[in-house]
Amino acid sequence: MPYTKLWSKIPLTTAFTLLITAGSSLLAATAEELVERQSGSSPFSGQFCDYTSFQTSVVGSRLLMFGGNLTINKGTNSKEKRELESGFQFFSLFLNETFQATDNATDYLRREPDPAAEKRIASMRDGGAFSYNGDIFFYGGQQLFNAGDDDIIYKCTPTSQNIVWNSAAISGNVRRTITKGASVDASSENKGFYFGGQDIIAKGADDSQADRVLNGTSSNNLIVLSFSPGKQEFTNITAPVSRAKPLVESNLLFVPAGKEGILVNLGGDDGTGDGAWEDLQVFDIGSSTWFNQRTRGNLTSGNSKNPGTGTCSVIASDGDNHFIYVYGGSNRAPGQSQLAILTIPAFQWFTVSNQNYPSKVNAQCQLAGERQMLILGGRSSNGRGDCGGNSFLEILDISSLEIVSSFPNNNPFTPPPLVRTAANSSNPLDGWTDPELQGLYETQYQTFAERNQESKSDKGTIIGGVVGGVAGVLLLSIVAVFFIMRSHRKKSARDVKEAVAEVNRNSVAQPFLGQPSPGFPSPAFPSGEYQHAYQPGYPPGHIYKDDYIVEAPPNPAPAELPSANPAARPMELPS
Ligand SMILES: *[C@@H]1O[C@H](CO)[C@@H](O)[C@H](O)[C@H]1NC(C)=O
Ligand SMILES: *[C@@H]1O[C@H](CO)[C@@H](O)[C@H](O)[C@H]1NC(C)=O
Ligand SMILES: *[C@@H]1O[C@H](CO)[C@@H](O)[C@H](O)[C@H]1NC(C)=O
Ligand SMILES: *[C@@H]1O[C@H](CO)[C@@H](O)[C@H](O)[C@H]1NC(C)=O
Ligand SMILES: *[C@@H]1O[C@H](CO)[C@@H](O)[C@H](O)[C@H]1NC(C)=O
Ligand SMILES: *[C@@H]1O[C@H](CO)[C@@H](O)[C@H](O)[C@H]1NC(C)=O
Ligand SMILES: CC(=O)N[C@H]1CO[C@H](CO)[C@@H](O)[C@@H]1O
């Protein structure tokens, strides 16, 4: 039974006992955690090389990274000792702490315990991770342990103490068997989206095998996850190919414009090596319709006419102007431009070159605060021989356009001078490709909460206040009663953690930290570059070539995996 349902069935008195117990175990864990962090054990078993195909999500002030392919250098020769780190990759980065990106990753990155040792779940690549109300839902992606049937997905609830995993059902005409799509959280709409990708074949009960990715099956369907307390609904929106061509590994962004927001889909691979660059795919959420929009500007850098696949993106807004920052890409060799900026509504592209920009393919980007773009993981586009030169984390200041080291920067976002001219245009420089989009776009955006508030009476506000107050009292009670009733430990740790998670979900508002837009791997990893993209002086390694069925070797059986942090595993409390 999903624990949210379980919780709703627990009478108030029992609930209160749970909270009391929760308080004590929470405090104990915090002390343990401090000790553990001070000891600073390395999150990697060797020198970091690269990290691709993983999922990221933000819950509260915590950025979590899951699954994917992590390679490390276990020896001294970076060219020969590069190895895939075994087991499930699972990291937290705390955005409420200060750190230097130039520091040892040990100082800002924490490895979380491997959940696959408990349940064979969520060990996946190239899926979407959606954050709602303290939970992270995983949709799509290639599962490596085949825990899921066709209609089961997983979710987790990170608490300060551990991470609780559960399954969740898919509804509607939607399968989970899709990977390498583009995902975005639209947190102000309580929605998540997953566009396109490739089909996969679930391997069912055979635990030793990963899902199989089917080549030649690119999709243009948009999967919508709509969240409300205690449930999630799935919708599958099909579109004519003329409006939304199938794309694998594109970037999807949520723009706060139009009645319920619009999505901009860019980059990726349509099967010929081209993505959506000159003509973007734009989805109006309110009318559930795809449009196209032409852009202006020159994305050429060196011999590559666009960044290619494996880019990652974030969006920042300044009033009615929006700026999409696109970093890296498989077509961008070191020395070429690594950053492209799209201004909206001018729909004009700018490319930025800077000697200090490291090349990155298949990184994940995340906006933190108003003006820092975290560039996480990825690999260098110059091939696989440079473990030492590829940092786990880069920070781009999206106002100054400099790579910086200090996190955080709490200053407001101001558009960089380069793009300010374009910000003066309230229309696309080449006009609206589809005039119908103009009217939809120009409707003033209001968040889901604002729209709901407007259509309700004052009664809603009063109830909200009372509920908030009750949550506050409950939280205070946890601490107060802990000191009085230390010995009243009756429930298992698991129930307790769930109770704490539930209280946190119901009472803690989540800061808006921007949205992840995954960069995705190019199929030709490790060299990864499309043939047409090679620059003179960068010899092609592997030529892009699909296999009809690309089968991933199975990961080691979870039971054999060492526990990274045994102390944090759920265990029975002494009674
Ligand atoms: C980072 O810190 C870990 C743990 O203290 C250490 O093992 C590793 O060698 C350090 N790496 C670098 C590059 O200094
Ligand atoms: C940051 O937040 C986490 C919980 O998300 C908490 O455990 C930690 O103590 C916080 N750190 C600071 C410096 O406040
Ligand atoms: C979405 O619907 C289309 C048309 O019915 C179907 O072909 C496709 O497999 C569905 N996609 C997913 C991910 O369920
Ligand atoms: C784009 O810029 C490149 C060099 O920066 C130049 O060679 C090319 O002609 C330009 N293309 C267009 C269409 O202006
Ligand atoms: C934008 O328009 C304002 C008013 O016309 C002008 O003062 C400003 O210079 C323009 N910005 C740029 C960067 O062209
Ligand atoms: C991830 O690792 C698996 C081996 O476990 C490999 O088959 C796959 O190609 C890798 N994918 C990427 C994108 O590196
Ligand atoms: C090995 C193999 O069958 N690869 C196929 C991948 O898909 C392309 C396009 O559908 C085929 O041409 C390849 O033969």
The protein residue whose alpha carbon is closest to atom 1 in ligand 1 is: 104
Output the CA 207–ligand 2 centroid distance in Å: 37
Q: φ, ψ for residue 285 (rounded to 5)? A: -70, -40
Confidence of residue 465 (pLDDT cuts 50, 70, 90): very low
- Ligand minimally distant from the alpha carbon of residue 278: 4
DSSP 192-233: EEEEEEEEEE--TT-TT-PPEEEEEEEEEEEEEEEEETTEEE
User: H or E stretch including 471?
Assistant: helix 458-484
Confidence of residue 546 (pLDDT cuts 50, 70, 90): very low
Position with higher pLDDT, 179 vs 457: 179
Integer Cα distance of 325 and 49 in angstroms: 25
Confidence of residue 483 (pLDDT cuts 50, 70, 90): very low
547 lines ligand 7 (CB under 6 A): yes
The protein residue whose alpha carbon is closest to atom 10 in ligand 5 is: 421
The protein residue whose alpha carbon is closest to atom 1 in ligand 2 is: 96
| Contacts for 355-360: CB closer than 8 Å, 24+ residues apart | 356/402, 356/403, 357/396, 357/403, 358/334, 358/389, 358/390, 358/391, 358/394, 358/403, 359/328, 359/332, 359/333, 359/334, 360/312, 360/327, 360/328, 360/394, 360/519
Integer Cα distance of 194 and 459 in angstroms: 36
Amino acid at 167: S
User: Is 0.95 surpassed by the pTM of this model?
Assistant: no
420 lines ligand 5 (CB under 6 A): yes
175 lines ligand 3 (CB under 6 A): yes
Q: φ, ψ for residue 366 (rounded to 5)? A: -145, 130
Output the CA 106–ligand 1 centroid distance in Å: 7
Mean pLDDT of 508-520: 38
Return the pLDDT at 208.
67
Integer Cα distance of 290 and 306 in angstroms: 23
> In the structure encoding, which two tokens stand for residue 408, read together?
């955080």
> In the structure encoding, which two tokens stand for residue 99, read together?
């750190």
Mean pLDDT of 372-377: 98
> In the structure encoding, which two tokens stand for residue 299, read together?
């994305």
Percent of the chain with pLDDT over 90: 54
Pocket of ligand 4 (CB under 6 A): 298, 300
Mean pLDDT of 266-276: 95
Q: Is pLDDT above 80 for 534?
A: no
Output the CA 300–ligand 4 centroid distance in Å: 6
Lowest mean pLDDT among 19-28, 145-154, 258-267: 19-28
- Ligand minimally distant from the alpha carbon of residue 199: 3
Q: Is pLDDT above 50 for 538?
A: no
Q: What share of the chain is helix, strand, coil (3-state, %, to 5)?
A: 20, 35, 45
Output the CA 366–ligand 5 centroid distance in Å: 30
Q: φ, ψ for residue 478 (rounded to 5)? A: -55, -50
Q: Is pLDDT above 80 for 388?
A: no
The protein residue whose alpha carbon is closest to atom 5 in ligand 6 is: 553
Mean pLDDT of 180-199: 97
Mean pLDDT of 335-346: 96
Integer Cα distance of 312 and 365 in angstroms: 5
Integer Cα distance of 80 and 124 in angstroms: 26
Position with higher pLDDT, 324 vs 89: 324
Rounded to an integer, what is the distance from CA 174 to the centroid of its chain?
21
> In the structure encoding, which two tokens stand for residue 490, read together?
């009756």
Integer Cα distance of 36 and 102 in angstroms: 22
Amino acid at 57: S
Lowest mean pLDDT among 151-160, 224-233, 342-351: 151-160
Q: Write the secondary structure of 314-357 as one string of H (helix), E (strand) and C (coil).
A: EEEEECCEEEEEEECCCCCCCCCCCEEEEEECCCEEEEECCCCC
| Contacts for 117-121: CB closer than 8 Å, 24+ residues apart | 117/558, 117/559, 117/561, 117/563, 118/165, 118/569, 118/570, 119/147, 119/165, 120/145, 120/146, 120/147, 120/207, 120/558, 121/145, 121/147, 121/148, 121/154, 121/165, 121/167
Integer Cα distance of 476 and 491 in angstroms: 20
549 lines ligand 7 (CB under 6 A): no
pLDDT digits (tens, 9 = 90+) for 94-143: 999 999 999 999 999 999 987 765 555 657 899 999 999 999 999 999 98
C-alpha distances (whole Å) from 449 to each of 59, 156, 188, 190, 471 are: 19, 24, 8, 9, 20
**DSSP SS3 for 251:** strand
Mean pLDDT of 169-179: 90
Q: Is pLDDT above 90 for 387?
A: no
Closest CA to 167 of 151, 184, 183: 151
Percent of the chain with pLDDT over 70: 68
Position with higher pLDDT, 168 vs 345: 345
Mutate to test the pocket of ligand 4, among 277, 300, 535 (most ligand atoms within 8 A of CB): 300
Residue pair 214/549 in contact (Cβ under 8 Å)? The answer is yes
Q: Is pLDDT above 90 for 479?
A: no
The count of residues in the chain is 575
Lowest mean pLDDT among 274-288, 306-320, 439-453, 483-497: 483-497
The protein residue whose alpha carbon is closest to atom 10 in ligand 7 is: 216
Q: Is pLDDT above 70 for 74?
A: yes
Return the pLDDT at 146.
59
Lowest mean pLDDT among 73-77, 165-169, 446-450, 494-498: 494-498
Look over the chain and give the mean of its residue pLDDT values, rounded to a whole number: 76
Place of tokens 């298992």: 492
